[in-house]
Structure 1
Amino acid sequence: MPLSGVPLREQRELIRALPDLGYTDVWSAEADGADAFTPLTLAAEWAPTLRLGTAIVPAFTRGPALLAQSAATLASLAPGRFALGIGTSSDVIVERWNGIPFVEPYKRVRDLLDFLRRAFTGEKVTGEWDSFSVQGFRLAEAPEPAPPVLVAALRPGMLTLAGRHGDGAIVNWLTSADVKAVAPHVRDYGKPGAEIVARIFVLPDVPADEARAIARRAIAAYLNVPVYRAFHEWLGRTELTPMWRAWASGDRAGALAAIPDSVVDALVLHGPAESVREQVRAYVEAGVTTPVLAPLGGSAARVIESLAP
């Protein structure tokens, strides 16, 4: 949330209906729309049984103390029902839009994770990390319980950090088959029970040609970002090489046309609602703990109802 196509101020009834439909969680993001915390604050009041999560808050765009304050505030509004997801975000969001150098993102996430662990205990924190320093910060009210901290991760280094030092990983833009390549880095080298949250893009009950056209635009927009390209290269998705070449040459139309239907259909779930539900279950069977539905278009209310568990 916020759900697409409806102003946030008008989403109360949609959010209140989620538990009765079988939904357990709502998750927010932070890019060029709403911030990550305000929608979840509203959800905490509108539907007080839902679990709340950020997927994700960029590690660079708030100072460490401010991020700890924001997270602690929401954790106090929803005790035991809030999970903080942090991640590197991208050079576009961090550097181009916020004027903050996007330098050594792995270290920034690693350092922030360590700081948050200490801050959530309520202790006074003073320390020098590779990516920032903090002198004498203490949360006036430490959250009880402390929220789990999940790390957005794509490749082995960050996935292992998420499982070993975080409470789990948030993954994005992967197929259900890809989960088998990702999960061992989180659980075999980290905590066996670490959570894996997957953001899964869905377009139920949309004609195939229309769904694929929408999906191609989204895939091209994301998978040409360097971090996502590197992720899919690591996964061995060589069939995307023609798209990357066309995009790099400035041929946007050619890049869209070069994305194979097989990749489109695996990354953006479409077809009849029951088929989409089955495809979501495949992620869970592969090792995803929390499947988070991300509609790419259409009426949010219709998608919520059609894909209700």
Structure 2
Amino acid sequence: MANDLRLGLNLGYWQRDATDATELVQTAERLGYDSVWTAEAYGSDAFTPLAWYGARTSRIKLGTSVVQLSARTPAATAMTAMTLDHLTGGRLLLGIGASGPQVVEGWYGQPFPQPLARTREYVEIMRKIWRRAEPVTSDGPHYPLPYPGGANLGKPLKLITHPLRPDIPIYLGAEGPKNVALSAEIAQGWLPLFVFPEKIESMYGASLEHAAPSFDIAAMVLVIVTDDLRAALDGVKMMLTLYIGGMGSKSRNFHADIIGRMGYAEAAEHIQALYLAGRRDEAFHAIPDELADGISLLGPLPRIRERLDLWRKSPVTNLLIMGPHDEPTLTGIRDLVLG
């Protein structure tokens, strides 16, 4: 049970038509938010906006939620992370994730199979690089170092720059039970996308059984402060329509799978079928209100205060709120969570 929740702000993807979020990030820092997070898919990258905000703040931690394994080699990610951690005084929280086969194979041109094995190997190499104990080698099948073949001139190398921290915190974006268990084994934290606080223990208790006491479960949660609960529910349902229906193929959609494990398997299958058939309005209306409400914090502040009790009773240790874009809302949520 989480007695004291930490609070972060998740900005998601940077979009070219969006206003610069520097003022919002600076406000969050001033209000005592612990962290700010950025994301990437197949548009903007996660590191560049984070560096931009890091240069304009001094205390707030800077998290990637998440950078995609297939976008960079382990060495490239380790170098970028080390550089950003140095420039921001040791504030980086490196969230990484395997993404899905459509993006990995369709966008990055990399094979998707064995995501757990690839993740483990990736993390091992990054930690070897940061610790600088010796020139880095790896005999793993996914990221062998030196590369076998090619010009046959590869040699083990050691990071030139000494890291500010030789053990930058790593978080895994994970949805399946095996991937969550891997997070508990090799990472400092887990970044779940959809969390039903009343159900997280039954869904992932076994996966989290051997997590360290300091293991951080940093849950992303959509927050909409409004007196119009119906409109807020519909906003969440619009997001879920895309994730359940269109973020993946019919045969493999990790987001639909997690909704199924929450107890909505039949609904998820029906929603996906409607969406893929082009009947998106029907897919939207097929999403249960209790699902949209369960994974979010919606309504006026007194209702959100009541809903927060469920999160405090769950294993979640860190709320990464998505949605607020003004100081009064950030202040109101801060007072409820940290006050």
TM exceeding 0.5: yes
Residue equivalent to 1:262:
290
Unmatched tracts of structure 2, length 5 or more: 1-10, 147-155
Distance 2:108 2:15 in 1: 26
Amino acid of the residue matched to residue 139 of structure 2? E
Is 2:317 the partner of 1:289?
yes
Is 2:307 the partner of 1:307?
no
Distance 2:116 2:158 in 1: 25
The counterpart of 1:227, out of the listed 237, 254, 266, is: 254
Amino acid of the residue matched to residue 308 of structure 1? R
Q: Shift of the alpha carbon at 1:291? A: 0.8
Q: Shift of the alpha carbon at 1:174? A: 1.9
User: Residues 93 and 200 (structure 1 numbering): CA distance in 2 closer, same or farther, change over 3 Å?
Assistant: same
Is 2:201 the partner of 1:201?
no
Q: Deviations over 1:127-170 (max 9, x none)?
A: 12132212224222242322111111112211111011111211
Q: Find the residue that maps to 1:30 and give its secondary structure.
A: coil
Residue equivalent to 1:31:
41
Distance 1:107 1:115 in 2: 12
Amino acid of the residue matched to residue 111 of structure 1? E
The counterpart of 2:142, out of the listed 131, 146, 155, is: 131
Which stretch of structure 1 is more off in the superposition, 270-279 or 212-221?
270-279
User: Residues 299 and 51 (structure 1 numbering): CA distance in 2 closer, same or farther, change over 3 Å?
Assistant: closer
Q: Which has the larger radius of gyration?
A: 2
Query: Contact conserved, 1:203 with 1:269, CA < 8 A, in 2?
Result: yes
Query: Contact conserved, 1:204 with 1:306, CA < 8 A, in 2?
Result: no
Q: For 1:40-189, list aligned pairs within 5 A.
A: 40-122=50-132, 123-135=134-146, 136-145=156-165, 146-182=167-203, 184-189=205-210
Q: Deviations over 1:220-278 (max 9, x none)?
A: 11123311122222333235243233234442222111111111111232111343354
Percent identity between the aligned chains?
A: 26
User: Residues 62 and 6 (structure 1 numbering): CA distance in 2 closer, same or farther, change over 3 Å?
Assistant: closer
Q: Find the residue that maps to 2:191 and give its secondary structure.
A: strand
Query: Contact conserved, 2:39 with 2:65, CA < 8 A, in 1?
Result: yes
Amino acid of the residue matched to residue 265 of structure 1? D
Q: Find the residue that maps to 2:232 and give its secondary structure.
A: helix
Give the structure with the larger strand fraction.
Answer: 1
User: Residues 94 and 242 (structure 1 numbering): CA distance in 2 closer, same or farther, change over 3 Å?
Assistant: same
Amino acid of the residue matched to residue 24 of structure 1? D
Q: Shift of the alpha carbon at 1:294? A: 1.0
Q: Shift of the alpha carbon at 1:199? A: 0.7
User: Residues 168 and 300 (structure 1 numbering): CA distance in 2 closer, same or farther, change over 3 Å?
Assistant: same
Q: Shift of the alpha carbon at 1:186? A: 4.8
Amino acid of the residue matched to residue 143 of structure 1? P
Distance 1:4 1:127 in 2: 34
Query: Contact conserved, 1:29 with 1:57, CA < 8 A, in 2?
Result: yes
Distance 1:182 1:120 in 2: 34
Unmatched tracts of structure 1, length 5 or more: none
Q: Find the residue that maps to 1:10 and give its secondary structure.
A: coil
Query: Contact conserved, 1:159 with 1:182, CA < 8 A, in 2?
Result: no
Aligned CA RMSD, in angstroms, stands at 2.5
Q: Find the residue that maps to 1:283 and give its secondary structure.
A: helix
Q: Which has the higher contact order (CA 8 A, sep 6+)?
A: 2
Q: Deviations over 1:84-121 (max 9, x none)?
A: 11111122332223333323222221211111121110
Q: Shift of the alpha carbon at 1:8? A: 7.0
Distance 2:91 2:203 in 1: 26
Distance 1:3 1:154 in 2: 20
User: Residues 32 and 69 (structure 1 numbering): CA distance in 2 closer, same or farther, change over 3 Å?
Assistant: same
Query: Contact conserved, 1:164 with 1:186, CA < 8 A, in 2?
Result: no
The counterpart of 1:271, out of the listed 299, 306, 310, is: 299
